[in-house]
Structure 1
Amino acid sequence: MIATASQPNLTLSAIRHKIPVYSWLALFLAMGLLGYASFQIQATSSITFDETFYLNAGVRTVASGTLDPAICDCGVAPLPIIICYLPPLLLSRNEYRHEVWVGQNDDPQLIIWPRRLNTLLVGMPLLIVIWLWLGRKCGPAGASLGVLMTATSPTIQAHAALATTDLSFALFGLLGILALAHYLERPTWVRLGILAIAMAACLSAKYSGVFLFPVAGLMFLGRALRDQNVTKKKLTPTNETSTEKSVESASVSQLSQGWWPVVRQTFVTYTLLLLLVIPLWWAFHGFSFTGPLKNVPLEVTPPDSPWVEMLGRGPWADWIMDQAHRRWKRPAPIAGVLFQYLHNKSGHTAFLMGETSLTGWRTYFPCTIGFKSTPSELILIALLLFGTISLRLAGCISWSKLDFSRRCLWLSLAVLAALLLFARINIGHRYVLILYPLFIMLGIDTIFMIYRNYIDRFPNTNGTSKAHWPRIIFTLSTSLLLAMQFWSSWSIQPHALSYFNGLCGGPEQGGRLLLDSNIDWGQDLPTLQQLLSSEDSSKVALQYFGTALPTAYGIEADPTKALRQPLEDYELLAISVTHLGGLYVFGNDPYQKFRTWQPDARAGYSINLYRLDTPERKAAFAQAIQEHEKARTQSLLKQ
C-alpha cells in the first residue's frame, strides 16, 4: 500500500467536527504565545528604520486625504499601511510631516497601535491559515505541530510584533497561493474572482507578489494539459464501439493532441485573470497617481533610461516619451514596481561575513536561512528536501499524485527561491519571511507522509498495521522538535529580531555574519536608555543606525556627527553594530579597531557600548571621528 499525498484531506466544513479539542487548544495556545511574545518585543523596541517611514506616510495620508505619493515612489506597497496604520491615525490628530524618513518625539506613542494591529490582523490570521491547511492535509496532530512551530519561530514573532510589510506579504502571499489552488480544483467565475482579489491583495502588500504571475501561468498550463488528457481518455473507443465510431473518435483524439487547445485554454484563462487583477490591484492603491508617467523631460532623458532601452530613439519614441512626461499620469502601482525594478538593477550595499557588495551574492539568502533559522526549522527544511526525494525514489509520491494546493505550494517555493537567488538587493533575512510558512506546511506534510509510509511497510499477520512503536517514535521525535523550537524562542526574548542560532555562534556573533535588519534595525533604544541611566549623558557619544529620535526614548547622548564636548572628555561610546561593521557610515570602516575589543555592555544585540578608558581607545575614537568628518566633507563637496 502506498501512502498517497491526498489523505486525510478533510473539508473545511468538517474541521470543527473532525479535529479534537486538543488541536483547538493548540491553536489558541499558539495565538496566545505569539501575542505574548509580540507584546514583549513591542514593549522593549524603539520604532525601527522602516516603521518611521510607514508612520510618517500614514500621517501624511490622513492629513492630505489621499494616499501619500511617497509610499509608492519609494517602492512600498500600501496595503500594510492601510490595514495597520490608517485606522489608529484616523482617530488622532497629527500635523502633516514633510520628511518621511525622520522620526518625531511622539513616535513611541503613535507606533503602539499599528504594531498591535499587525499582530492581530496579520500574525493571528497567518496562524489560522496554516492550522486549517495542515488540519486538512495531516489531521489534528499535524495542525497542532505546525501552528505551534509557527507561533514560536523567532522570525515570525519579530515581524508579527513590528508594523512592517514583511509578515503581511507572507500572509497575503500564502492566501494567493491557496486561492490559486482553490480555483484549479474546480474552475468557476466566482473562484476566479476570489483568486484575482487574493493576487491583487498580495501585490498590494509587497510588490514581490509578482511571483504569483509565473506560478499561475505554469499551473494554468498544467491544468490545461490535464484537461486534454482527460478528454483523450473520454474519446478513446471501447472494444464494443463500431468501426465507424472508432474512426471518428480517433480523428477527434488526434485533433485534441495538438498544442493549440492547451495554449488557447491557458491564454484565455491567464488573460481573464490579468484583466481582473490589474484594476483590483490599482483599487487597493485608491486609484491614485504619483506624478507624470515619465519623470524627466525628453530633452534631459539619459541614454541608459529604461524608456530609451524599451523604445529606442526616433520620432515615435520621442513623441511617446514627451507625452508621457507632459500629459500622461503614472498609476501608483506602476511607480512602485518601477522603483523596485530600478532599485534591483542598481543594487544596494550589502554585508555578508565581513564583505560588502553593491550587487549581493547568490549565497546571501541561503546563508541568512542557515544563520537565522532555529535548529528545529533547519531540521524541518532538511526533512522536507531529503524526505521528499526519498518518497519520490520509493515511488510513494509523484507530481501527478499531488493535489493542487501541494503543487501550488511547491511551485511557489521553487519560484520564490529562484527569484531570491538572483536578487541584487541583499539587505535582510526578512525578504525570505514568506518561505517559512511554506517550509513549515510542506515540511510537516512530508513528515506525515513518511510516517504513514513507514507504518504501511510493517503489517501484522492479520493485515493490520503495527502502529504502536512507530507512533511512539514519531510522537517523541515531533515533541523534541517542538521543544527545541520553544527553547529557541524563549532564549532570545524579547530580542527576536536579532536571533541567530547557536550553530553560527548565536546573536553575540551575529554582527560578524550579517548586518542591517538581520540584527540591527534601530530597535534597542529603550534598552540603551536603561544602560545609560546611571551615566553622565554629556560624556556619552552615540553612533546610532536608525530613524528614531534617541531623545524620544530619554537618551541625551551626543550624536557623533554633532559632538558638543572635546573628544578627550567622552567616556563612553554607544555604537550600532551596523555602523560598527562599516556599513552605511561615513568613512572607510572608521570603527574597525573597536571590533577587536569585547564590548563592555550591550543594548540588546544591536548596540555595543565601549568604555573610552584607555589611551588606545580614546585614540581609536578620535581617529574614527576624524575619518567621519573627512568623508562627510568630501561628500558635501561632491554635491
Structure 2
Amino acid sequence: MTAKASQPNLTLTAIRHKIPVYSWLALFLAMGLLGFASFQIQSTSSITFDETFYLNAGVRTVASGTLDPAICDCGVAPLPIIICYLPPLLLSRNEYRHEAWVGHENDPQLIILPRRLNTLLVGMPLLIVIWLWLGTKCGPAGASLGVLMTAASPTIQAHAALATTDLSFTLFGLLGILALAHYLEQPTWSRLGILAIAMAACLSAKYSGVFLFPVAGLMFLGRALRDQNVPPTNETSTNVPETSATPTIETSTEKSPLSSSISRRSQGWWPVVRQTFVTYTLLLLLVIPLWWAFHGFSFTGPLKNVPLEVTPPDSPWVEILGRGPWADWIMDQAHRRWKRPAPIAGVLFQYLHNKTGHTAFLIGETSLTGWRTYFPCTIGFKSTPSELILITLLLLGTIFLRLAGCISWSQLDFSRRCLWLSFAVLAALLLFARINIGHRYVLILYPLFIMLGIDTIFMIYHSFIVRFPNTSGTSKAEWPRVIFTLIGSLLLAMQLWSSWSIQPHPLSYFNGLCGGPEQGGRLLLDSNIDWGQDLPTLQKLLASEDSSKVALQYFGTALPTAYGIHADPTKALRRPLEDYELLAISVTHLGGLYVFGNDPYQKFRTWQPEARAGYSINLYRLDTPERKAAFAQAIQEHEKARAEYLLKQ
C-alpha cells in the first residue's frame, strides 16, 4: 500500500483555530526581523541605480498628472512605482525633473518613504503568503520554518529594503501562481476574475510576468484532460459560466479504469482543445484590459517609432509583416496615426533589449549576450548555505519520493503543480535570457525554493513515519521527528547566522563557499554586489581625509555631494594627477565593466585595498610611484576612450 506523502491540507479558516501560538509568534518574529533588517539597510544605503529612475519617474508623473511615458519606454512596469513612490510624492512638492537617470540633492530624503512602503506593502505580505501556504500544506511547524527562513534570507532582505521592482514581481508572481491554482480547484467566474486581476498585477509589476501565460495554458490543458477522463456527474451550479471551460465543481481524482477508457474513446481530443481554448481566450480577454488599466490606459507615443522610409530591414515590423503594399500601409499608419499603449511599449523594449543583449560579467569574463550558466552561478554564489542545502534536498528529495512511489504528478494538488510548473518555466526562461546583469532576476525563485523545499521535507517525514513505525506498532515513530526537527533547526540557525554576518550589506552577500563578499567582485558585478549603495559608508571612511585629494570613480546615479562626499570625480579632476592621495573606486568599474577604456583599472585589482566602503567601493592609497603611475595611466586611457565616444555621438 502506497504511503501518503503529505498531511491533509488545512483550509484558511482552519488555520486560525488549528495553528498554535508558536506559529503565530514565528510569523510576527519574521515580520519584525525583516522590518528591522530593512531599516538597518535603508539607513546605511544611498539611493541605488534603478531607484533614481523610479524616483524621477514618480516625480514626473505627479508633476504632469499622467503616467510618465519614460517608465514603459524604458521597459519598466509601473505598479511598484504606483504603490511605493506616488503616495509619498503626492504629499510633497517637487519640480519636474527632465533627466530620468540623474540624481538630485534631496534624493536621500525623498527615497525614505518609498523604501518603507516597499517593506510594509510588499515585503510583509510576501511573508504572510508563504506562511499561509506552508500552513495549509505542512502545518504550523512548516509554516514557522518557512517564514523565518524567508525573513532571514539576505537576498529577500536586500530587496525588501530597496524600493525597486524585483520584490514586487516576486509577490505578485506568487499571488498569480496561487490564484491560478485557486481557479483550477473549482473554476467559477469569480475565481477567473481573481486570476485575471492577479496576472494583470504581476505583468504590471514586471514584464517578466509573461511566464504566467505558458503556465496557465499548460495547466488549463491538464485540467481539461483530467475532466475528460472523469465520469460526468449530475451536480450543477448557478454561479459559473455555462461553458465547459469553467467546470462547475471540483470533481474527484478517483476514477475507474473502465469509465476512464470509455470517456477517452467517446470524446477524443476535440473537447479538450475546445475547453482549453475557450478558457484561455476568456482569460486573455480579461487580463489584457486589466493590464492596461494598471498603466492608467496611457499611451507612450506612435505605435511605430520611425517612418516607413527609414525602417531598417532587421526591424521587428519587417520581420513580422515582411514587405509589400499591405505591410507598408500598416507600418505607415502605425507611425502616423496609431498610438502605442503603454504595456506594448514596455514589452517591446524588453524584447529588443533581450534581442540586443547587455554587457555582463561572470568570473572575469564579459559578454554582450550572456551565458547559459550565469543564473545557476549566481544562485550558487549568492545563496546562503541553508538555501543551497534546501535546494539540494528539494531536488534529491523529490527524486526519492518519486522512486519510492510516494508521489506522482497526478497525486499533487493544483497549487503544488502550479508552483512546480512555474519553477520549470522560469528556469527555462532564465537559462535562455540574454540579459545577465543581476541575481535579482531570480529573486522569485527563492520563495519557490523555500515553499517546495520545506513541503518536500515534510513529505519525506510523513513517508518515514508510515514506513518505519515504532516498536509499539503505532505510526508515530519518534526518531524521524527528532531527525527532521534537528534538520529544520540547523537550517534556520545557519540562515540566521548568514543574515547576521552580512548586515547591513546583504545586497553584496556571497556565501563562504565562493570566498565571501570580499571576493564577490571577482565573480559577479553590477547589482550583484555594487548598485551604488555604499556612499554613506564611504562618507564615514573619508571623514578624516582631505576630500580635495580624493579621486572618486563611482558606479551609480546618486549625487555623492548629497551624502557629504566632496571628492573629485575622475571625469572632472581639478588637481594635477600627482596631487591625489586616495582613489575610491566602485568594484564594477574596478572590474572593467561600464567604464571607458580597455579595463583601465586592472592593475589596482592586484593590490589589496586600504579599506572598503561596504563591499562595493574599494579605497586605494596612492602612496607609491607605482600606484601613482597606474592611476595616471588609467585616467589617461579613460579620458581618451571617453573623448572618442563623444566624437562618435
**TM-score past 0.5 threshold:** yes
Q: Judging changes above 3 Å, is the alpha-carbon distance between structure 1 residues 626 and 181 closer, same or farther for their aligned structure 2 residues?
A: same
Contact 2:4 2:406 in 1 (8 A): yes
Residue 234 of structure 2 aligns with which residue? Answer: none
Q: Judging changes above 3 Å, is the alpha-carbon distance between structure 1 residues 237 and 390 closer, same or farther for their aligned structure 2 residues?
A: closer
Alpha-carbon shift at residue 2 of structure 1 (Å): 3.9
Counterpart-to-counterpart distance in 2, 1:89 and 1:51: 14
Contact 1:282 1:333 in 2 (8 A): yes
CA displacement 1:67-103 (0-9 Å, x = unmatched)? 0000000000000000000000000000000000000
CA displacement 1:85-143 (0-9 Å, x = unmatched)? 00000000000000000000000000000000000000000000000000000000000
Q: Judging changes above 3 Å, is the alpha-carbon distance between structure 1 residues 238 and 203 closer, same or farther for their aligned structure 2 residues?
A: closer
Alpha-carbon shift at residue 236 of structure 1 (Å): 23
Contact 1:362 1:422 in 2 (8 A): yes
Contact 2:182 2:415 in 1 (8 A): yes
Contact 1:288 1:332 in 2 (8 A): yes
Counterpart-to-counterpart distance in 2, 1:380 and 1:57: 39
Q: Judging changes above 3 Å, is the alpha-carbon distance between structure 1 residues 239 and 341 closer, same or farther for their aligned structure 2 residues?
A: closer
Counterpart-to-counterpart distance in 2, 1:247 and 1:483: 49
Residue 320 of structure 2 aligns with which residue? Answer: 310
Q: Judging changes above 3 Å, is the alpha-carbon distance between structure 1 residues 584 and 14 closer, same or farther for their aligned structure 2 residues?
A: same
Q: Judging changes above 3 Å, is the alpha-carbon distance between structure 1 residues 149 and 319 closer, same or farther for their aligned structure 2 residues?
A: same
Alpha-carbon shift at residue 5 of structure 1 (Å): 4.8
Q: Judging changes above 3 Å, is the alpha-carbon distance between structure 1 residues 139 and 556 closer, same or farther for their aligned structure 2 residues?
A: same
CA displacement 1:324-372 (0-9 Å, x = unmatched)? 0000000000000000000000000000000000000000000000000
Instruction: Answer with 468-477 or 341-350: which moved more.
Output: 468-477
Q: Judging changes above 3 Å, is the alpha-carbon distance between structure 1 residues 636 and 396 closer, same or farther for their aligned structure 2 residues?
A: same
Q: Judging changes above 3 Å, is the alpha-carbon distance between structure 1 residues 536 and 386 closer, same or farther for their aligned structure 2 residues?
A: same
Contact 1:55 1:85 in 2 (8 A): yes
Counterpart-to-counterpart distance in 1, 2:568 and 2:253: 95
Contact 1:281 1:333 in 2 (8 A): yes
Alpha-carbon shift at residue 253 of structure 1 (Å): 3.9
CA displacement 1:582-606 (0-9 Å, x = unmatched)? 0000000000000000000000000
Q: Calculate the aligned-residue CA RMSD, in Å.
A: 4.1
CA displacement 1:204-235 (0-9 Å, x = unmatched)? 00000000000000000000000009999999
Q: Judging changes above 3 Å, is the alpha-carbon distance between structure 1 residues 522 and 244 closer, same or farther for their aligned structure 2 residues?
A: closer
CA displacement 1:529-575 (0-9 Å, x = unmatched)? 00000000100000000000000000000000000000000000000
Alpha-carbon shift at residue 17 of structure 1 (Å): 0.3
In the superposition, the TM-score normalised over structure 2's length comes to: 0.95
Counterpart-to-counterpart distance in 1, 2:552 and 2:507: 21
Counterpart-to-counterpart distance in 1, 2:256 and 2:476: 50
CA displacement 1:156-211 (0-9 Å, x = unmatched)? 00000000000000000000000000000000000000000000000000000000
Residue 518 of structure 2 aligns with which residue? Answer: 508
Contact 1:235 1:252 in 2 (8 A): no
1:272 is the counterpart of 2:282:
yes
Counterpart-to-counterpart distance in 1, 2:584 and 2:242: 72
CA displacement 1:596-639 (0-9 Å, x = unmatched)? 00000000000000000000000000000000111011111212
Q: Judging changes above 3 Å, is the alpha-carbon distance between structure 1 residues 230 and 325 closer, same or farther for their aligned structure 2 residues?
A: closer
Contact 2:73 2:300 in 1 (8 A): yes
Q: Judging changes above 3 Å, is the alpha-carbon distance between structure 1 residues 101 and 450 closer, same or farther for their aligned structure 2 residues?
A: same
Counterpart-to-counterpart distance in 2, 1:329 and 1:238: 41
Counterpart-to-counterpart distance in 1, 2:111 and 2:100: 15
1:634 is the counterpart of 2:644:
yes
Residue 292 of structure 2 aligns with which residue? Answer: 282
Instruction: Answer with 57-66 or 235-244: which moved more.
Output: 235-244
Alpha-carbon shift at residue 409 of structure 1 (Å): 0.1
Q: Judging changes above 3 Å, is the alpha-carbon distance between structure 1 residues 342 and 250 closer, same or farther for their aligned structure 2 residues?
A: closer
CA displacement 1:7-52 (0-9 Å, x = unmatched)? 2310001101010000000000000000000000000000000000
DSSP 3-state at the match of 2:472:
coil
1:174 is the counterpart of 2:174:
yes
Q: Judging changes above 3 Å, is the alpha-carbon distance between structure 1 residues 247 and 372 closer, same or farther for their aligned structure 2 residues?
A: closer
Contact 2:6 2:462 in 1 (8 A): no
Residue 82 of structure 1 aligns with which residue? Answer: 82
Counterpart-to-counterpart distance in 2, 1:609 and 1:112: 28
Contact 1:4 1:401 in 2 (8 A): no
Alpha-carbon shift at residue 472 of structure 1 (Å): 1.4
Alpha-carbon shift at residue 449 of structure 1 (Å): 0.5
Q: Judging changes above 3 Å, is the alpha-carbon distance between structure 1 residues 242 and 608 closer, same or farther for their aligned structure 2 residues?
A: closer
DSSP 3-state at the match of 1:46:
coil
Contact 1:204 1:285 in 2 (8 A): yes
1:214 is the counterpart of 2:201:
no
Residue 110 of structure 1 aligns with which residue? Answer: 110
Q: Judging changes above 3 Å, is the alpha-carbon distance between structure 1 residues 402 and 327 closer, same or farther for their aligned structure 2 residues?
A: same
Alpha-carbon shift at residue 3 of structure 1 (Å): 4.1
Q: Judging changes above 3 Å, is the alpha-carbon distance between structure 1 residues 374 and 284 closer, same or farther for their aligned structure 2 residues?
A: same
Select the residue among 270, 295, 313 that pairs with 1:260: 270
DSSP 3-state at the match of 1:230:
coil
Counterpart-to-counterpart distance in 2, 1:127 and 1:245: 38
Alpha-carbon shift at residue 4 of structure 1 (Å): 3.0
DSSP 3-state at the match of 1:4:
coil
Counterpart-to-counterpart distance in 1, 2:247 and 2:201: 47
Counterpart-to-counterpart distance in 2, 1:515 and 1:237: 50
Contact 2:530 2:587 in 1 (8 A): yes
CA displacement 1:387-427 (0-9 Å, x = unmatched)? 00010000000000000000000000000000000000000
Contact 2:245 2:276 in 1 (8 A): no
Q: Judging changes above 3 Å, is the alpha-carbon distance between structure 1 residues 252 and 70 closer, same or farther for their aligned structure 2 residues?
A: same
Contact 1:235 1:253 in 2 (8 A): no
Contact 1:293 1:325 in 2 (8 A): yes
Alpha-carbon shift at residue 467 of structure 1 (Å): 2.2
Counterpart-to-counterpart distance in 1, 2:313 and 2:138: 56
Counterpart-to-counterpart distance in 1, 2:440 and 2:52: 17
Q: Judging changes above 3 Å, is the alpha-carbon distance between structure 1 residues 554 and 450 closer, same or farther for their aligned structure 2 residues?
A: same
Contact 1:6 1:403 in 2 (8 A): no
Contact 2:384 2:511 in 1 (8 A): yes
Contact 2:372 2:432 in 1 (8 A): yes
Contact 1:5 1:403 in 2 (8 A): no
Contact 1:311 1:317 in 2 (8 A): yes
Counterpart-to-counterpart distance in 2, 1:512 and 1:218: 41
Counterpart-to-counterpart distance in 2, 1:630 and 1:233: 68
The percentage of counterpart residues that share the same residue type is: 92
Q: Judging changes above 3 Å, is the alpha-carbon distance between structure 1 residues 585 and 405 closer, same or farther for their aligned structure 2 residues?
A: same
Q: Judging changes above 3 Å, is the alpha-carbon distance between structure 1 residues 409 and 11 closer, same or farther for their aligned structure 2 residues?
A: same
Q: Judging changes above 3 Å, is the alpha-carbon distance between structure 1 residues 179 and 628 closer, same or farther for their aligned structure 2 residues?
A: same
Contact 1:40 1:494 in 2 (8 A): yes
Instruction: Answer with 218-227 or 2-11: which moved more.
Output: 2-11
Q: Judging changes above 3 Å, is the alpha-carbon distance between structure 1 residues 625 and 243 closer, same or farther for their aligned structure 2 residues?
A: closer
DSSP 3-state at the match of 1:192:
helix
Contact 1:560 1:625 in 2 (8 A): yes
Contact 1:5 1:401 in 2 (8 A): no
Contact 1:53 1:101 in 2 (8 A): yes
Alpha-carbon shift at residue 471 of structure 1 (Å): 1.2
Counterpart-to-counterpart distance in 2, 1:242 and 1:436: 32
Alpha-carbon shift at residue 283 of structure 1 (Å): 0.2
Instruction: Answer with 417-426 or 242-251: which moved more.
Output: 242-251
Contact 2:122 2:168 in 1 (8 A): yes
Q: Judging changes above 3 Å, is the alpha-carbon distance between structure 1 residues 597 and 17 closer, same or farther for their aligned structure 2 residues?
A: same
Alpha-carbon shift at residue 461 of structure 1 (Å): 5.3
Residue 488 of structure 2 aligns with which residue? Answer: 478
Counterpart-to-counterpart distance in 2, 1:279 and 1:320: 23
Counterpart-to-counterpart distance in 2, 1:517 and 1:492: 16
